Structure 1
Amino acid sequence: MFARPFRVKSNTAIKGSDRRKLKADISAAFPLLSAEELSELIPNKEELNVVKIYAHKGDGVILYVLHKNPLFFELEKHIYPTVYVLWRYPALLPVFRTWPPVLQKLIGGADLMLPGVVVPSSGLPDVQQGNCCSVTLVNSRAPVAVGTAAVSTGEMLSLGMKGRGVCVLHTYMDNLWAFGDKSCPPSLPDAEIEGQGVNGEEYECDEEGEEGEEEVEKCVEEEQSPSEAAPDPACSGIEELSLAEQEEEKGEKGNEEEEENQGDHKMLQETMDGLLLQCFLHALKSKVKKSELPLLTSTFLRNHMFACCPTGKQLDIKKSSYKKLSKFLQAMQKQHNLVRVKELTKGVESIVEVDWKNPELRSFRVPQETDVVAAPVQDGGEGDPPYHPPEITTLYSVSARLEPLFLDAQKRKGAILQPAEVRHIITEYVKKNELVDENNKNYVNINPILCDCLLEKSEYQEVEALKWDDLFSRTLGRMQECYQVVFPGQAPIKKKGHIEPIDISVASRGSNKKVTLIKNLDVYGLDPAVVATALQRRVQASAVLQPIPGSKDKVLVQIQGNQIHQISNLLLDHYQIPRKYIQGLDKAPKGGKKK
């Protein structure tokens, strides 16, 4: 799960009540932990952080981090320990053992297959399918992987130790391990397994190792992905010598390719550095005014530098040698003396001075293409992808009561239609059945089907005709409302019911302090973390993400003070969300009367 880099969504200190709940959950999940051991893992007075991340496949995971080391991770409401915890308490989980060469495959995202399991003299641990378990290497009790049992112990034996054994979630040397202090496994020797082979049989290490490779060639099953090469069959690799020889050969053959790739990478970096400098000088010369100073560096990048990027090119700081805007601006300050950057508030840098007389700036010629306007981007900082508001359409679903009215158009219950399609089908039905009133074309005569579908029981004997507008409104009113959301370049998303508006509310916290809460940003394709960062920079106030009670994997943005004016400007002007999809703008603070 953590074989590839993950994205951090938020990082906050845990609350006291949540700390107590976490302790109770860990105690229930791992009953072998004593009260003292639990207090050591989750101390009462030391800061414990809750880090929410997205794995590379989009899974939402919660990490519990103490002293910069992730101790536990929560996935789909199940808590799993990391290798940092298991190195302190190696007997916490049922243990499966395997051979050292298999570890590299596990780190790459493979699951542990039963032919690769080394069975000790005491037998396999007793597990049920889905139970949390750990993986160790021969001659060491220090766990190197955490996962879940693919099948029960009984099924493993009945299958003849063939098939998948452990579905691996986390390993030593993966990206979750790298999120901590990157320490190595402790030395915990296990003499019981010495001399034993695959599945507990005696095994002699042969330098050629052909028979051994055939016997354990399927000890792991790797994840298949388009970006990965086909897996090599050498998964037995009991003799480490052959593995080292393969690596040496690969290294010799790949030296030339690596040098070529490094040359190409360096050339791309130099090209992006040149584009970055051009946009920087262009922005200073033609966009920035002295009255704007001090100017937030993020605003300078978003509103000025991006606007100066030539058509057909894309400005991406991460592809330059600087990697970050702050490092680029430091270089412009120290090496070129073009600007002076200062941290006016903690963690927020601004351009406070520009040397308009600098020879390099004065000699710079603005390119002829001056009307380039960059696409609006999410207001989150460096390198965020462009944001375009979705196209939202109201749709209608055929209900069971109205199904007879739509049968001629071959639309049955549950069919989703545009309002124009509904009007067209009703019009064709009226014309086909000759229901237009001969004396007044504005009226439609009611036949038995229209009567059953559109009239109330009290109207059956009284209403003989309806106006066209009334006919259409009654039809739409008796259909189930749906909506369709279309993001640029993505397939339409259709859902039943009304689309939830972005909900803005003001609440009181301790000592009557006001906070502003924003919900449902994700419905409109907005990343709550990006919006929180943008608001924090705009209003210079603390903004955090909080889970929404009763909903899974949904968060709200909480920012100090009544910030509805700023939120309104951000959503309406910058993100261009239509006002009708925003709820709570009327709660903005009213300006006081001047005395």
Structure 2
Amino acid sequence: MFAKPFRVKSNTVMKGSDRRKLRADIATAFPSLSAEQLSQLLPSKEELNVVKIYAHKGDSMTLYVLQKNPLFFELDKRLYPTVYLLWRCPDVLPAFATWPPVLQKLIGGADLMLPGVVVPSSGLPEVTQGGCCSVILVNNRAPVAVGTAAASTAEMYSLGMKGRGVYVLHSYMDHLWASGDKSGPPSFPECEGSVLAGEDEESDDQDEEVEEECAQEEQEEHLCEKATDEVCAGVEELNLTEREEEKEEQGNEEEEEDQKSPQEMMDALLLQCFLHALKSKIKKSELPLLTSTFLRNHMFSCCPNGKQLDIKKSSYKKLSKFLQAMQQQHHLVRVKELTKGVESIVEVDWKNRELRSFIVPEEANAEASPVEQEDDAHPYQPPEITTLYTIPARLEPLFLDANKRKGAVLQPADVRSLITEYVRKNELVNEKNQNYVTINPTLCDCLLEKSEYQEVACLKWDELFSRTQSKMQECYQVVFPGQASVVKKGHIEPIDISVASRGSNKKVTLIKNLEVYGLDPAVVAVALQRRVQASSVLQPVPGAKDRVLVQIQGNQIQQVGNLLLDRYQIPRKYIQGLDKAQKSGKKK
């Protein structure tokens, strides 16, 4: 489920009433949790976030996140705990034990098979088919995976411990785990009675045999621990000193942020992006600079990863008021209206103490935004799209001489050349006028309608070709740079741009079918958001599991068209809806 990255749709703070409902749902779903444990898991004073996401296969689900760690995820109206919660309460779910090397397979997205299950002397835990359960390692009770039972306990025994045991939904070291603090599983003492079923459990009073068995158990435990260390070596962790320092810094930042209101936090983010842009993005030679250009091209690109700059959520509400405050209170810039109704930054005080003391965040140098990464590291290249034709059964006689049978795929040029070769081979060119082709019985059956059998004796070359292609089945070939070509039936779906109305008659622009052309909707949404300074969201396309559409506020057809045509070089014929763009000009 989380073996590949997921997309975040929204991230909001849970209200008090919703928190109480969630606590009741958790208590119902996991009755083994005591009231004290529930209070510790969901403390009333801690901020609990609700994160809506789309998995890589298009499944919509909800995460409940506390202190950056996801505790539960909800899929199909059913709650499942994450490994972070199970490390705090390891006995919430019935657990199946397996060997440490199997963990690497689970991390890759595989399910737990019954031959890999270690059966303790006390027997397998009692589960029903579809019941929620966890997976542990034989040397540690800390769960490393969560899933549902593929069969009941009795059915597992009746199957002879063969087949699938647990459908794994989430595991340690997958992308859901990586969205948290990336801590490793704690070390819990091994359960009693973990001896494999079927092993000889003969009790002997002789001290030598007891000591020998203990030595073997210690050796097996060391081997298991070593295997676990090898499996977990794929995660790069900070050393102890660096981690403690990082936690202290994060703790201080979180305390400061908790004391601020959302509006104050947006004001601080706005000022940070403003100073960052002035210090590292703007040159004196670029002045005067339009304020809208400054915001779109410079301030938005200085926004830290994981945060979204929205002036409407600040105390200023408008860019002009913010810049006025920067001019009058901070004396950082001078803004002037060079053209009626259009403001520009005409001067920057580079010696300003506040600007000189500002330190550009390290993450701004180390990490680029998704759009910048796409532009610099992996620039988008449009696919090559070619229209092709498939030979139907009716036209097969025309292509038999060229050994082309029903279902063969031909390019338009190949169709013309093969038809020309057929005409010349059968000497069908009209002797009196070579612009015409004489219709023989084969051409008559393949290209003419029944009403034309007695009327049409010859056709022009162009009409011959056009009739042939109209009778063939159209398909298309898509070739992405560095990838193998893909041939699909029918017409290629164009990128569809439309305008819809939402509540209060507000307009929104919808963009669909970006994936057909290899475009990432999330990257396009960010690029549009920066270009038009409006919020955007991703929504699932009804009836299509693997596709999402981009929704952006306002009628932005013109801006979307410019982005697709100029930046991504998509041919105009593959974009539908550009004619609905608002026409510029004064109203009469």
Please classify the TM superposition score into its range, dividing by the shorter chain length: 0.5 to 0.7
Give 1:179 shift. Answer: 1.6
Q: Secondary structure at the match of 2:197?
A: helix
How far apart in 2 are the matches of 1:474 and 1:483? 19
Q: Which residue is equivalent to 1:72?
A: 73
Q: Which residue is equivalent to 1:399?
A: 392
Alpha carbons 2:289, 2:345 under 8 Å: kept: no
Alpha carbons 1:48, 1:64 under 8 Å: kept: yes
Distance 1:576 1:355, change over 3 A: farther
Counterpart of 2:134 in structure 1: which amino acid? S
Distance 1:546 1:121, change over 3 A: same
Q: Which residue is equivalent to 1:50?
A: 52
Distance 1:559 1:489, change over 3 A: same
**Higher deviation after alignment, 98-107 or 59-68:** 98-107
How far apart in 1 are the matches of 2:406 and 2:78? 40
Give 1:196 shift. Answer: 3.2
Give 1:52 shift. Answer: 2.5
Q: Which residue is equivalent to 1:509?
A: 502
Aligned with 1:10 (options 3, 8, 11): 8
Alpha carbons 1:196, 1:202 under 8 Å: kept: no
1:413 aligns with 2:411: no
Alpha carbons 2:288, 2:345 under 8 Å: kept: no
1:386 aligns with 2:388: no
Q: Secondary structure at the match of 1:516?
A: strand
Distance 1:437 1:208, change over 3 A: farther
Give 1:82 shift. Answer: 2.9
Q: Which residue is equivalent to 1:540?
A: 533
Q: Secondary structure at the match of 2:372?
A: coil
Q: Which residue is equivalent to 1:121?
A: 122
Give 1:535 shift. Answer: 0.6
Alpha carbons 2:436, 2:458 under 8 Å: kept: yes
1:74-473 paired onto structure 2 within 5 Å: 81-84=81-84, 95-98=95-98, 112=112, 114-119=115-120, 121-123=122-124, 125=126, 133-136=133-136, 143-147=143-147, 156-157=156-157, 161=161, 165-166=165-166, 168-172=168-172, 174-180=174-180, 193-199=191-197, 201=199, 238-240=220-222, 243=225, 289-292=286-289, 299=297, 380-382=371-373, 384=375, 385-473=378-466
How far apart in 1 are the matches of 2:498 and 2:228? 62
Q: Which residue is equivalent to 1:529?
A: 522
Give 1:199 shift. Answer: 3.1
Distance 1:108 1:554, change over 3 A: closer
Alpha carbons 1:381, 1:534 under 8 Å: kept: no
Percent identity of paired positions between Structure 1 and Structure 2: 62
Alpha carbons 1:532, 1:543 under 8 Å: kept: yes
How far apart in 2 are the matches of 1:211 and 1:353? 79
Alpha carbons 1:390, 1:485 under 8 Å: kept: yes
Give 1:422 shift. Answer: 0.3
How far apart in 2 are the matches of 1:577 and 1:163? 48
Counterpart of 1:396 in structure 2: which amino acid? Y
How far apart in 1 are the matches of 2:214 and 2:346? 68
How far apart in 2 are the matches of 1:99 and 1:246? 9
**Higher deviation after alignment, 401-410 or 99-108:** 99-108
Which 5+ residue runs of structure 2 have no aligned equivalent?
A: 202-208, 234-278, 309-331, 335-343, 352-367
Counterpart of 1:71 in structure 2: which amino acid? F
Distance 1:487 1:124, change over 3 A: same
Distance 1:100 1:205, change over 3 A: farther
C-alpha distance after superposition, 1:118-140 (max 9, x if no partner): 33525454555x87642135698
How far apart in 2 are the matches of 1:525 and 1:452? 42
How far apart in 1 are the matches of 2:497 and 2:435? 44
Give 1:2 shift. Answer: 5.0
Distance 1:67 1:457, change over 3 A: same
Which 5+ residue runs of structure 1 have no aligned equivalent?
A: 214-236, 252-280, 304-316, 327-339, 343-349, 358-376
How far apart in 2 are the matches of 1:539 and 1:508? 18
C-alpha distance after superposition, 1:241-284 (max 9, x if no partner): 78469979x99xxxxxxxxxxxxxxxxxxxxxxxxxxxxx9998
C-alpha distance after superposition, 1:291-331 (max 9, x if no partner): 4466559847999xxxxxxxxxxxxx9xxxx999x9xxxxx
Alpha carbons 1:378, 1:386 under 8 Å: kept: no
Give 1:437 shift. Answer: 1.4
Q: Secondary structure at the match of 2:442?
A: helix
How far apart in 1 are the matches of 2:210 and 2:582? 78
Aligned with 2:569 (options 562, 569, 576): 576
Alpha carbons 1:443, 1:468 under 8 Å: kept: yes
Give 1:175 shift. Answer: 3.8
CA RMSD of aligned residues (A): 5.3
How far apart in 2 are the matches of 1:210 and 1:351? 78
Give 1:524 shift. Answer: 1.1
Alpha carbons 2:538, 2:551 under 8 Å: kept: yes
C-alpha distance after superposition, 1:3-35 (max 9, x if no partner): 7xx53433325999xxx9xx99xx9xx99568x
**Higher deviation after alignment, 60-69 or 441-450:** 60-69
Alpha carbons 2:58, 2:547 under 8 Å: kept: no
Give 1:470 shift. Answer: 0.8
How far apart in 1 are the matches of 2:111 and 2:454? 71
Give 1:390 shift. Answer: 1.5
How many residues align? The count is 462
Alpha carbons 2:64, 2:73 under 8 Å: kept: no
How far apart in 2 are the matches of 1:205 and 1:404? 86
Counterpart of 2:176 in structure 1: which amino acid? L
Give 1:507 shift. Answer: 0.4
How far apart in 2 are the matches of 1:427 and 1:494? 26
